[in-house]
């Protein structure tokens, strides 16, 4: 990261934004009571935690579900539970969202659906204290949090634009603030720098927010919106891949102070179904309160550079050459 960039971000940080984040984190999410009967909601990582609670919330309001999960047994249990309890349809696609091959396959399966996708929720996530590389040689945290949603959104662009409307929700995190001085696009795989769980997670979540800026520009005036939602400090199974010391610390000290994922589901339902957000796009919400992300996540020049890097990493560069990126995002506020 250049000295100029660091200085740019340093000048943009404001204490009022930090105080707003703390204040917003104490608020309960707004509640949407509107039904969602017959709508189709796609959710990644729906067999536990936030994804599971969100799937049940949408199903309880009449939505049909298409869940993208890794585990076939848990997926089948979820399908039976949702269909028996709520009398809606619940289908599942199996995929490992750390594998580029699986991500591309699922993306094209979704793109070939005849039914419109009303809400697409990118929820799958991972937190690692020690770096893991995917079979494609990429940083696993970057792929799961950023590239998986990037590829699926990119492949689905034309399908979603052809619909009357659609909403994309990125399950984001206040943890994007751990990338306080931005991204190093010359070392997205953490081969040159010291890897830590917090820095990797922060970079991946910042990447997710930056891609949102460009997608919002690409979807402008199409009826498709894309927003990011911090789901609150809630108890989930994230981090179970780590060693026994981390799992003990999380269970003993962190989990007892966390809230139930039900508040996340309430927020994600509001952001996906409320008429108040029908035309709102490119925004970051702390639960249901709009909030200003950290300066690196608002850097439009970096967003464009990351877009091109992501196309290369995702194997989409050739397809992207047919649809060059507009420079209009550089003029955004």
Closest Cα partner for 129 from 187, 80, 200, 52? Answer: 200
Could you state, in order of their start, the residue ranges of all structural domains in the chain? 3-315
**CATH match for 3-315 among 3.40.50.720, 3.40.630.30, 4.10.520.10, 2.60.15.10:** 3.40.50.720
Contact yes or no for 172/229 (Cβ under 8 A): yes
Q: Quick one: tokens of 95?
A: 């995929």
Closest Cα partner for 174 from 198, 197, 143? Answer: 198
Contact yes or no for 252/278 (Cβ under 8 A): no
Q: Quick one: tokens of 195?
A: 């890897």
Q: Quick one: tokens of 280?
A: 């709102």
Whole-structure pTM value: 0.91
- Report the distance separating Cα 71 and Cα 166, nearest Å: 27
Segment (H or E) for 225: strand 224-230
Just list the catalytic residues. 201
Reported as half-sphere exposure (CB side, CA atoms, 13 A), residue 17 has a value of 12
Longest Cα pair distance anywhere in the chain, in angstroms?
Answer: 58
For 199, list phi and psi in degrees, rounded to 5.
Answer: -65, -40
Reported as half-sphere exposure (CB side, CA atoms, 13 A), residue 158 has a value of 8
Contact yes or no for 58/82 (Cβ under 8 A): no
CB atoms within 10 A of CB 191: 12
pLDDT by residue for the chain (333 residues), tens digit each? 667 788 899 899 999 998 999 898 888 999 999 999 999 999 999 999 999 999 999 999 999 999 999 999 999 999 999 999 999 999 999 999 999 999 999 999 999 999 999 999 999 999 888 999 999 999 999 999 999 999 999 999 999 999 989 999 999 999 999 999 999 999 999 999 999 999 999 999 999 999 999 999 999 999 999 999 998 765 455 545 545 544 444 454 434 445 677 889 999 999 999 999 999 999 999 999 999 999 999 999 999 999 999 999 999 987 766 666 655 544 443
Pairing assessment for the beta strands 119-122 and 90-94 based on DSSP bridges: unpaired
Torsion of CA 122, 124, 129, 133, to 10 degrees: -90
């Amino acid at each position: 990261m250049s000295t100029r960039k660091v200085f740019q971000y340093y000048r943009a940080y404001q204490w009022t934004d930090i105080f707003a984040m703390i204040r917003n984190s104490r608020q309960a999410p707004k509640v949407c009571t509107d039904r969602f009967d017959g709508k189709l909601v796609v959710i990644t990582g729906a067999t536990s935690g936030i994804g599971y609670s969100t799937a049940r919330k949408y199903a309880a309001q009449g939505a049909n579900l298409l869940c993208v999960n890794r585990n076939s047994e848990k997926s089948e249990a979820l399908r039976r539970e949702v269909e028996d309890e709520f009398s809606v349809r619940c289908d599942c696609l199996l995929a490992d969202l750390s594998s580029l091959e699986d991500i591309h396959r699922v993306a094209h399966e979704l793109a070939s659906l005849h039914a419109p996708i009303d809400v697409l929720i990118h929820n799958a996530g991972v937190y690692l204290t020690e770096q893991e590389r995917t079979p494609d040689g990429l940083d696993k945290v970057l792929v799961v949090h950023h590239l998986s949603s990037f590829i699926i959104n990119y492949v689905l662009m034309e399908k979603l634009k052809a619909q009357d409307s659609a909403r994309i929700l990125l399950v984001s995190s206040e943890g994007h603030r751990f990338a306080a001085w931005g991204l190093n696009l010359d070392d997205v795989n953490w081969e040159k720098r010291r890897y830590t769980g917090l820095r990797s997670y922060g970079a991946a979540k910042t990447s997710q927010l930056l891609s949102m800026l460009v997608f919002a520009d690409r979807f402008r005036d199409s009826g498709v919106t894309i927003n990011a939602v911090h789901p609150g400090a809630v108890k989930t199974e994230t981090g179970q891949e780590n060693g026994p010391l981390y799992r003990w610390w999380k269970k003993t000290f962190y989990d007892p102070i966390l809230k139930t994922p039900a508040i996340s589901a309430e927020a994600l339902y509001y952001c996906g179904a409320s008429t108040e957000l029908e035309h709102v796009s490119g925004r970051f919400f702390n639960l249901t309160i709009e909030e200003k992300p950290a300066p690196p996540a608002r850097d439009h020049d970096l967003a464009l550079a990351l877009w091109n890097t992501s196309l290369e990493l995702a194997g989409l560069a050739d397809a992207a050459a047919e649809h060059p990126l507009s420079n209009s995002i550089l003029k955004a506020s």
